[in-house]
Amino acid sequence: MGLLDGKVAIITGAGRGIGAAAAKLFAEQGASVVVSDLDKAPAEEVVGAIKKGGGKAVAVAGNVMEQSTNEALIKAALDNFKGLDILVPAAGFCNDKVIQKMELEDFRLMVRVHMEAPWMLCKLAYPHFKELSQDGNYRRVVFVASEAGTHGNAGQSNYGAAKSGAVGLMRVLTKEWLRIRVNCNCVAYGFVETRLTQSTSGQQILGANIGIPEQSRQMGEQFMMLRGGRILTPEEAAGAIFALAIPQADGVNGQLVEVDSGIGL
Ligand SMILES: NC(=O)c1ccc[n+]([C@@H]2O[C@H](COP(=O)([O-])OP(=O)(O)OC[C@H]3O[C@@H](n4cnc5c(N)ncnc54)[C@H](O)[C@@H]3O)[C@@H](O)[C@H]2O)c1
């Protein structure tokens, strides 16, 4: 018996990091998972690992900034698993620069991936959530934000603003979707060990340099250690998404949960 037996989840950005750990945990706990990522190979690897462990999953590759990808995700859930219970729009990256060096396009890119993409997925899910709500069960959206949005972080005016937008979206949809029993909550991470927080590696996503400068990473690490905190693993980060997605948390709605080992206080 798993805590998510019979549930159908869409997780974006699930080819790596927190999304991949969430997809594996959800599947271990009985959910059927649509594993979505910009990159096909890592998404298929995650699906392979889930199936090897006896779970159910399907990979859908595509850019979540495109409406067609979000349509394909909903279709994959309905066609393959005949349901739609949980959305986790986790796909994302950052593109850090101080504001005087940042172009408007750098800002808009973050708004597109962290605000517009979750908005699109939710909008497309609405008619299905409404129809399915007649079964009396609670459904979920777990948004993925950052303490760059809730507390601020130098060099991330684009990313922090966009992640704050995801918190606002969560709060509005909480109110709009009370009647159809879709609980909306949001996790905001501090520092999690993933590709996103590795030293700048020359890797790019859609033209943006990902990773953070080694000096900033070291400063972040020292700041945390001094306060008794630590860098979390993707599995620990995924645990918070899972905790908000299980039916035992049906009473939790409209909440922002900071996941940072306690240093954000
Ligand atoms: N790692 C952290 O410390 C941290 C902190 C705060 C918030 N977050 C957020 O957590 C989420 C997951 O990040 P992560 O740390 O696991 O990073 P990650 O780089 O390990 O994984 C992110 C995945 O998203 C995919 N992706 C990126 N843009 C996409 C797009 N446009 N369409 C489809 N897929 C796309 C990438 O290919 C990658 O596989 C992100 O939204 C990130 O902003 C992470």
Ligand 1, atom 36: closest residue by C-alpha:
13
Single pTM value for the model: 0.97
For residue 216, pLDDT over 90 is answered with no
Pocket test for ligand 1, best of 10, 11, 12, 18 (most atoms within 8 A of CB): 18
**Cα of 22 from ligand 1 centre, angstroms:** 12
**Averaged confidence pLDDT in the chain:** 95
Is the CB–ligand 1 distance for residue 14 below 6 Å?
A: no
For residue 168, pLDDT over 80 is answered with yes
Give me the mean pLDDT over the 100-124 stretch.
97
Q: What percent of the chain has pLDDT over 90?
A: 86
Give me the mean pLDDT over the 154-162 stretch.
96
**Cα of 222 from ligand 1 centre, angstroms:** 23
Would you say 191 and 220 are in contact if contact means Cβ atoms under 8 Å apart?
yes
Q: Is 189 a catalytic residue?
A: no
Would you say 166 and 109 are in contact if contact means Cβ atoms under 8 Å apart?
no
Give me the mean pLDDT over the 224-234 stretch.
90
Is the CB–ligand 1 distance for residue 16 below 6 Å?
A: yes
Tell me what pLDDT residue 7 has: 98
Is the CB–ligand 1 distance for residue 93 below 6 Å?
A: yes
pLDDT in tens, 8-29: 999 999 999 999 999 999 999 9
Identify residue 193 by its one-letter amino acid code: E
Task: Domains for the chain: give ranges and CATH numbers.
Answer: 8-192+232-259 (3.40.50.720)
Is the CB–ligand 1 distance for residue 89 below 6 Å?
A: no
What does the radius of gyration of the chain's CA atoms come to, in whole angstroms? 17
CA distance 169 to 186: 10
DSSP codes joined into one string, 148-202: HHHT--TTBHHHHHHHHHHHHHHHHHHHHTTTTTEEEEEEEES-B-SGGGSBP-S
Give ∠ CA 183-187-191 in degrees, rounded to 5. Answer: 170
Tell me what pLDDT residue 202 has: 76
CA 232 from centre of chain: 16
Ligand 1, atom 32: closest residue by C-alpha:
63
CA distance 84 to 11: 12
Is the CB–ligand 1 distance for residue 33 below 6 Å?
A: no
Ligand 1, atom 11: closest residue by C-alpha:
90
Encoded tokens for 10: 């869409």
Is the CB–ligand 1 distance for residue 146 below 6 Å?
A: yes
pLDDT in tens, 193-207: 999 998 876 788 888
